[in-house]
Homo-oligomer: A and B are copies of this chain.
Amino acid sequence: MYDFEIERAAGEVVRRGAKRVFVQAPDGLKQFLAEFVSRLSQVCEVYVSINPCYGGCDLEDDRAAMIGADMVIHIGHKKFIEGAEKVYTVYLPAPHLADVRGLASLAASELKKRGFLRVGVLANLQHIEYVGEFVREMEAAGLVPVVDRQTGGLVLGCRTDGAKRIESEVDAFLFIGGGEFHPLGVAMDVEKEVFIADTYRNEVRGTAEIMKKTLSRRWWAIMEASKSKRFGVIMVTKPGQFSMRSAEKIAAELRAAGKEAHLLVGDDVSPERLAAFPFIESFIVTGCPRIATDTQQDPNRPVLNEAEAWKMLEIIKPDRK
């Protein structure tokens, strides 16, 4: 179902003479690792992380160093920050092996039916190699597909510049992949409608409905947070997400506005973790912007990301410049 490039990975291990190899993968891909680990175990000792892995920002170098790993194999994501790895890391994108021809032509006809002409084509890492096929089908249907040159259409959960750069040239966007996570990220950052060509369910659907709900939830969170007296400002300690400066800047602004700000530190920002702090009224998460928008939290205590926190600060400090 996914291509883990087993032989290339084993070859890399042998070439580097790696004896201990640390493997990281997102939860959705771990279930497919049995064969990969068995093959790799023929050439090295394999240590698989049981922790979740939310992106190329989520490196477990400390853990890799703890077991004395010579090499990390990071599955499902690409390098996020140049030179961030303390242990040599191979990234395996793990493309989803899907037959998308029917889906591409379905997407083209659906978009055409809705009256769109120029369509921005996007995909996540698992489906980026299908962009060409969708472009061809769209052209064949008389549409004008547009792909950002810098990213080739690739979007991450937190990086949608490949959409924003071409927004003014298109009538709508088409995202190739599955789930709502990536297309929702795009939809929150652009004004145009975003459609999903779902390679798992073989269907094309819009995101207008879910966007409306999400936006109203986010605005509610911002307005509600603005009434709080006691904030928790959380810095996330994942290597690619850690920013003390952001957290301390926001805490300083909150304090200047007469609020109380507690600095909190952690890696897993789940509802269970926040439940342990009943005396905090609102949380602000620096680090991954999607933690705040996508984690189902206590409905009575808003959780904002950094951008939303600054919006809220404009509300509570209208004179802030």
Binding site for B on A (CB under 8 A): 22, 27, 30-31, 33-34, 37-38, 45-52, 62-63, 66-68, 230, 234-235, 237, 242, 244, 260, 262-269, 273-274, 276-279
Contacts and interface: CB of A to CB of B under 8 A. Distances in A.
A48 B279 contact: no
Contacts of A244: 67-68
A278 B50 contact: no
| Number of this chain's copies in the complex | 2
Tell me what chain A mostly uses at the interface: helix, strand, loop, or mixed.
Answer: mixed
B47 A264 contact: yes
A45 B248 CA distance: 10
B279 A234 contact: no
A46 to B, nearest CB: 7
Nearest to A263: B47
Contacts of A269: 50
Contacts of A273: 50-52
Contacts of A276: 27, 30-31, 50, 52
Contact of A31 (B67, B267, B277): B277
A273 B48 CA distance: 12
A265 B30 contact: no
Contact of A66 (B45, B47, B237): B237
A263 B50 contact: no
Contacts of A264: 47-50
A143 B30 CA distance: 57
